């Protein structure tokens, strides 16, 4: 029986470190930017089409969640499910801070559609974390292109 | 803003599939294919689960 093993890219290999070298951005900076602003990590790497699509998707999802009167979780409520919701919301970066600053999503959830909104907001945050980690993988050379 | 349940499913599936497609594949053509696959799976899976819940309701 044979197994497929992916060989690590050689140092200076175009496929392995091309993005980080071409953009000059450090992986940590790309990760931070991608977390704070959806799509910003990919934008720093020069992948503007991906950045635009990610930004539209994540910001759109967050905005629809707010428009559906979804709940924005706050820390220290003591409820385990609320803490998980807060962790998910926090993934949206500056969008979460903006929502808290402007008092969005603080009304009680009374209808099913508002509960959908709550899920939209949490998933937008989780997807933003996925996108930021993807940008970090591109910058560090772990993902090839 | 008010959405029907089905339009909420479509929007959720669309946005999530776009992010999955971009982040889980390396080549543009594969991104589009994987995104379309995820979208179809989300929508069909939700409709199937809805029918399953309707069938098992007391």
DSSP string, chain A: -----PPPPPTT-HHHHHHHHHH---HHHHHHHHHHSTTHHHHHTT-HHHHHHHHHHHHHHHHHHHHTTPPPP-S----HHHHHHHHHHHTTTHHHHHHHHHTTT-SPP-SHHHHHHHHHHHHHHHHHHHHHHHHHHHHHTSS--
Task: Give B8→chain A minimum CA distance, Å.
Answer: 8
Q: Label residue B46 by pLDDT band (50, 70, 90).
A: very high
Helical pair A94-102 and A80-90, crossing angle rounded to 10 deg: 120
Is A5 part of a structural domain of the chain?
no
Q: Label residue B38 by pLDDT band (50, 70, 90).
A: very high
A7 has a chain B CB within 8 A of its CB: no
Between the two ends of chain A, the Cα-to-Cα distance in Å is 30
Residue of A nearest to B27 (CA): A145
pLDDT of residue A135: 97
Residue A102 and residue A94 in contact, taking contact as beta carbons nearer than 8 Å: no
Q: Is this complex's ipTM strictly greater than 0.95?
A: no
**Token pair for residue A102?**
């402007």
Task: Count up the domains in chain A and report the number.
Answer: 1
Q: Is B3 helix (H, G, I), strand (E, B) or coil?
A: coil
pTM of the model: 0.86
Q: Label residue A130 by pLDDT band (50, 70, 90).
A: very high
pLDDT of residue A11: 40
* Domain, as residue range, for B44: 5-56
What is the pLDDT of chain A when averaged over all its residues?
A: 86
Task: Count up the domains in chain B and report the number.
Answer: 1
Is A145 part of a structural domain of the chain?
no
Element (H, E) at B1: none
More confident residue, B30 or A112: B30
* Domain, as residue range, for A122: 20-140
Is A13 part of a structural domain of the chain?
no
pLDDT of residue B1: 84
Is A61 part of a structural domain of the chain?
yes
Is A15 part of a structural domain of the chain?
no
Is A30 part of a structural domain of the chain?
yes
Lookup result for tokens 């982040």: B23
Residue A19 predicted with pLDDT over 60: no
Task: Give A128→chain B minimum CA distance, Å.
Answer: 9
pLDDT per residue over A54-97, tens digit each? 999 999 999 999 999 999 999 978 888 999 999 999 999 999 99
pLDDT of residue A23: 66
What is the C-alpha separation between B28 and B11, in angstroms, rounded?
22
Q: Label residue A9 by pLDDT band (50, 70, 90).
A: very low
Residue A17 predicted with pLDDT over 80: no
Residues of B at the A interface, defined by Cβ within 8 angstroms: 1-3, 5, 8, 11-12, 14-16, 18-20, 22-23, 26-27
pLDDT of residue A77: 81
Q: What percent of chain A has pLDDT over 90?
A: 70
Residue of B nearest to A65 (CA): B1
């Amino acid at each position: 029986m044979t197994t497929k093993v992916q060989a690590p890219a050689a140092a200076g290999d175009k496929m392995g470190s091309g993005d980080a070298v071409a953009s000059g951005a450090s992986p940590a900076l790309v990760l931070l930017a991608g977390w704070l602003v959806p799509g910003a990590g990919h934008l720093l790497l020069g992948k503007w089409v991906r950045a635009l699509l990610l930004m539209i998707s994540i910001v759109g999802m967050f905005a629809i969640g707010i428009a559906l009167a979804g709940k924005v979780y706050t820390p220290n409520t003591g409820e385990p499910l609320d803490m998980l919701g807060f962790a998910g919301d926090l993934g949206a970066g500056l969008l979460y801070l903006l929502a808290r600053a402007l008092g969005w999503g603080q009304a009680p959830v009374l209808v099913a559609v508002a509960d959908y909104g709550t899920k939209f907001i949490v998933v937008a945050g989780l997807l933003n974390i996925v996108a930021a980690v993807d940008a970090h993988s591109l910058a560090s050379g772990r993902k090839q292109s | 803003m008010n959405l029907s349940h089905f339009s909420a499913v479509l929007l959720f599936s669309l946005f999530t599939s776009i992010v999955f497609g971009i982040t889980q594949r390396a080549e543009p053509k594969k991104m589009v294919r994987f995104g379309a696959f995820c979208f179809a799976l989300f929508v069909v899976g939700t409709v199937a689960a809805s029918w399953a819940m309707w069938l098992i309701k007391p």
